[in-house]
Structure 1
Amino acid sequence: MHPWIADRTAAFESSGIRKVFDLAAKLKDPINLSIGQPDFDVPGEIRTAAIDAIQSGKNAYSPTQGIGPLREALRAEIAAKYPHEDRDVFVSSGTSGGLMLAMLSMINPGDEVIYLDPYFVMYPALLKMCGGVPVPVDSYPDFRLDPAKIEAAITPRTKMILVNSPANPTGVTASEEELKAVAQLAADRNIALLSDEIYSRFFFDGDFVSPASFNDQTIVIDGFSKSHAMTGWRVGYVHGPAEIINTMLKVQQYSFVCSPQPAQWGALRAMEVNLDGHINDYRRKRDLIYDGLSDKYEISKPGGAFYVFPRSPIPSGAKFVERAIEKGLLIIPGNIFSKHDTHFRISFAASDETLHRGIEVLRSLVSGG
């Protein structure tokens, strides 16, 4: 390693997902079921609002906590759902920025953070940057949020429990009972509870439930990237107890500074856009991919997000992904998200034509398909 490079960067690898994206750029007409972002464009009225902001000169830094109108609209929406006495909100530079600020603000070296395996790739990397200790809890084979497993993983060093529902990479949604039990466990043990809710609007069966409904100290991270296809705009938001929010703002002042101001005006307009059509379309895509593969692959039916996480038909998920790529199908090996190399991730955020082509290849890769 180059002598100028900091030791902390050796604690984690570059994202394996990015490596697949790089490979996609080299293939001619790939069947791309790897990308974790919507396949629809940003709705026109949101684009217009951002353009209008640019044209009218709203191009400078915003306040670190976000533009006043967006923050007030978020505060009103959050207060209606969670009428807690102590709950504030600020606008972050994407949900990834919110995650980083949360870790930097709450995790000391040696602090342990519990989360499920499989997990979003950023969780252990961010923790290691802060000197924290990742404590992944195995959730195979059904990927449920099991309160008993969470409780068993708690030690005197446990600082935080991190939950993600609907989950990336599995698409599995935690039940109200599971979330309530974990929320109560965190409250009883005085452990921080961080809820990553970026896929909260992609909830296909029943109504979305947040652990903040059961624990008023829950810190929630959400945003507009996935729901409104604004992945490149970098507008997220975080809400929770005021002292935690103020500390995260202090760190944001010396790092991200603020979310891009024109994008925040777009996000304000986004709060008025009805997404029912897109959500119904993704529910249909979920059913299309599940019904097309569930007789050939072991799959836990996703209740949200836009991923399925099938079991590989051969012992190594990574080896199976290599076979799929040889057929022009881009999917993500499960060991990027897990200590296990037994599964692979499919994103069904794609056109119906692409999904049908992907199903055809995946069925052909199974004997008798």
Structure 2
Amino acid sequence: MHPWIAERTASFDSSGIRRVFDLAAKLKDPINLSIGQPDFDVPDEIKDATIEAIRSGRNAYSPTQGIAPLRDAVLAEVNEKYPGQDRDVFISSGTSGGLVLSMLSMVNPGDEVIFLDPYFVMYPALVRLCGGVPVMVDSYPDFRLDPEKIEAAITPKTKMVLVNSPANPTGVTATEADLKAVAAIAAKHNVALLSDEIYSRFFYDGDFYSPASDNPDAIVIDGFSKSHAMTGWRVGYVHGPREVIATMLKIQQYSFVCSPQPAQWGALRAMEVSMKANVDEYRKKRDYLVEQLSPHYELTSPGGAFYLFPKAPGNEGGAAFVERAISQGLLIIPGNIFSQKDSHFRISFAASDETLRRGAELLIKLAKA
């Protein structure tokens, strides 16, 4: 390692997803089921609001906490969802920025952070970046958030429980009962409860439920990246206890500074734009893939997000299966990028119906090979 490089950076690797993206750029007409972002475009109303902001000169830094109209609108929505709770909110540079600030604000060296395995790739890396210790709770084979397993993992060093529902990479949604139980466990042990809810609008069966409803000290991260296809715009938001939010803002001042101001005006307009038709379309995509692949793969039907996390066929490991798929022009992500196990792979159904049809046909062929 170069002598100038900080030792903390050696505690985690670059994301393996990026390597798949690099490979995608080299293939001719691949069947790409790897990308974790919507395949629809940002609605025109949002684009127009952002363009208007740029043309009217709203291009400088915004206040660190975000432009007042957007922050007020998000806070009004939060107060409606969680009446009687004294929550504060700020606009972050994407939900990833919210995750970084959450970890830096709450995790000390040696603190343990509990989350499910499989997990979003950033979780263990960010915990280690802060000097913390990732504690991964095995959720195979059904990927359920099991409150008993969460409580069993708590030690005197536990600082935080991190939940993600709907989840990346599995698409599985935690039940209301399990989220209520975990909310109570976090309160009982006086540990932070961080809820990553970036896929909250991609919820296909029943109604979305947040553990913040039962734990007023829960910190919630959400945003516009997935719901409105604004992944490159970097507008998220975080709400939670005032003192925690104030600390996150203090760090944002010296790091991200603020979310891009023109994009914030677009996000303000996004709050008025219904994405129900897109969510309904993604529910159909989910149903199609589950119907096609269930006879050939062991999988749990996702209740949200836009991912499937099937088990590789036979005794073939996930990474080996993905190599075989890529050799046939199908881009998917090996499960060991999201897990300590190498048994599954991730499919994104954020793709055109034709791409899904081609992908399903090839996956069925690969399962029979």
**TM-score over 0.5 for the pair:** yes
Give, in angstroms, the shift of residue 315 of structure 1.
Answer: 2.8
Instruction: Please give the per-residue CA displacement for 1:70-100, whole angstroms capped at 9, x wherever unaligned.
Output: 0000000000001134200000000000000
**Where does residue 32 of structure 1 map in the other structure?**
32
| Residue identity matched to 2:226 | K
SS in 1 for 2:8: helix
SS in 2 for 1:49: helix
Q: State the TM-score, normalizing by the size of structure 1.
A: 0.99
Distance, in Å, in 1 between the alignment partners of 2:8 and 2:215 is 33
Give, in angstroms, the shift of residue 244 of structure 1.
Answer: 0.3
| Residue identity matched to 1:134 | P
SS in 1 for 2:71: helix
The answer on whether the counterparts of 2:202 and 2:279 sit within 8 Å (CA) in structure 1 is: yes
**Where does residue 74 of structure 1 map in the other structure?**
74
Distance, in Å, in 2 between the alignment partners of 1:34 and 1:233 is 20
**Where does residue 159 of structure 1 map in the other structure?**
159
**Where does residue 50 of structure 1 map in the other structure?**
50
Distance, in Å, in 1 between the alignment partners of 2:68 and 2:26 is 44
Gaps of 5+ in 2: none
SS in 2 for 1:233: coil
| Alignment length (residue pairs) | 368
Mapping of residues 76-155 of structure 1, within 5 Å: 76-155=76-155
The answer on whether the counterparts of 1:65 and 1:90 sit within 8 Å (CA) in structure 2 is: yes
| Residue identity matched to 2:9 | T
Instruction: Determine whether 1:344 maps to 2:313.
Output: no
Give, in angstroms, the shift of residue 129 of structure 1.
Answer: 0.5
Distance, in Å, in 2 between the alignment partners of 1:315 and 1:110 is 37
SS in 1 for 2:237: strand
**Where does residue 366 of structure 2 map in the other structure?**
365
The answer on whether the counterparts of 1:166 and 1:197 sit within 8 Å (CA) in structure 2 is: yes
| Residue identity matched to 1:210 | S
**Where does residue 230 of structure 1 map in the other structure?**
230
The answer on whether the counterparts of 2:79 and 2:85 sit within 8 Å (CA) in structure 1 is: no
Gaps of 5+ in 1: none
**Where does residue 316 of structure 2 map in the other structure?**
315
Give, in angstroms, the shift of residue 280 of structure 1.
Answer: 0.2
Instruction: Please give the per-residue CA displacement for 1:42-92, whole angstroms capped at 9, x wherever unaligned.
Output: 000000000000000000000000000000000000000011342000000
SS in 2 for 1:366: helix
**Where does residue 291 of structure 1 map in the other structure?**
291
**Where does residue 20 of structure 1 map in the other structure?**
20
SS in 1 for 2:2: coil
**Where does residue 197 of structure 1 map in the other structure?**
197
Mapping of residues 266-277 of structure 1, within 5 Å: 266-277=266-277
Distance, in Å, in 2 between the alignment partners of 1:193 and 1:84 is 19
Instruction: Please give the per-residue CA displacement for 1:4-36, whole angstroms capped at 9, x wherever unaligned.
Output: 111011000000000000000000000000000
Distance, in Å, in 2 between the alignment partners of 1:336 and 1:82 is 35
The answer on whether the counterparts of 1:92 and 1:98 sit within 8 Å (CA) in structure 2 is: yes
SS in 2 for 1:365: helix
Distance, in Å, in 1 between the alignment partners of 2:81 and 2:279 is 21
**Where does residue 357 of structure 2 map in the other structure?**
356
Distance, in Å, in 1 between the alignment partners of 2:352 and 2:86 is 43
Give, in angstroms, the shift of residue 329 of structure 1.
Answer: 0.2
**Where does residue 10 of structure 2 map in the other structure?**
10
| Residue identity matched to 2:246 | N
**Where does residue 259 of structure 1 map in the other structure?**
259
Instruction: Please give the per-residue CA displacement for 1:216-264, whole angstroms capped at 9, x wherever unaligned.
Output: 0000000000000000000000000000000000000000000000000
Distance, in Å, in 1 between the alignment partners of 2:68 and 2:227 is 22
The answer on whether the counterparts of 1:166 and 1:305 sit within 8 Å (CA) in structure 2 is: yes
| Residue identity matched to 1:195 | S
Structure 1 runs (4+) greater than 3 angstroms displaced: none
| Residue identity matched to 1:162 | L
What's the % identity of the aligned pairs?
A: 76
Distance, in Å, in 1 between the alignment partners of 2:115 and 2:84 is 25
The answer on whether the counterparts of 1:84 and 1:216 sit within 8 Å (CA) in structure 2 is: no
Give the superposed CA RMSD: 0.6
Distance, in Å, in 1 between the alignment partners of 2:220 and 2:179 is 13
Distance, in Å, in 1 between the alignment partners of 2:283 and 2:301 is 11
Distance, in Å, in 2 between the alignment partners of 1:289 and 1:43 is 26
Distance, in Å, in 2 between the alignment partners of 1:347 and 1:67 is 33
The answer on whether the counterparts of 2:235 and 2:267 sit within 8 Å (CA) in structure 1 is: yes
Instruction: Please give the per-residue CA displacement for 1:314-348, whole angstroms capped at 9, x wherever unaligned.
Output: 33100000000011000000000000000000000
The answer on whether the counterparts of 1:114 and 1:134 sit within 8 Å (CA) in structure 2 is: yes
SS in 2 for 1:220: strand
Distance, in Å, in 2 between the alignment partners of 1:112 and 1:367 is 43
**Where does residue 242 of structure 1 map in the other structure?**
242
Distance, in Å, in 1 between the alignment partners of 2:6 and 2:72 is 40
